[in-house]
């Protein structure tokens, strides 16, 4: 339901950065009122394949390249 109504990310359906824009267009907030009754409890997702196909290493053109790796862990 959360994927269909809100299109929140991180999500396993997004494997590249270019997919985020297309994924966000899938949201359909109009369906919230009809689906809200199906919500029970809490939802916690841990997407294992989010941006799996992208190379997220920094190059010298990125300012993050000059920041020590310890800052990103």
Q: Which two tokens stand for residue 30?
A: 């109009």
6 — pLDDT class (breaks 50, 70, 90):
confident
53 — pLDDT class (breaks 50, 70, 90):
very high
Whole-structure pTM value: 0.61
Q: Which two tokens stand for residue 46?
A: 């841990």
Distance, first Cα to last Cα, the chain? 31
57 — pLDDT class (breaks 50, 70, 90):
confident
Distance separating alpha carbons of residues 17 and 9, to the nearest angstrom: 11
Q: Which residues contact 31 (CB under 8 A, 6 or more apart)?
A: 4, 5
Determine contact, residues 1/29, Cβ cutoff 8 Å: no
* The predicted structure's pLDDT at residue 16: 93
State the average pLDDT for the chain. 85
């Amino acid at each position: 339901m959360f994927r269909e109504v809100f299109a929140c990310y991180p999500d396993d359906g997004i494997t590249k950065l270019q997919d985020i824009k297309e994924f966000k267009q899938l949201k359909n907030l109009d369906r919230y009122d009809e689906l809200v009754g199906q919500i029970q409890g809490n939802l916690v997702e841990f997407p294992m394949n989010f941006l799996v196909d992208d190379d997220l290493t920094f190059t010298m053109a990125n300012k993050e390249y000059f920041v020590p790796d310890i800052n990103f862990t």
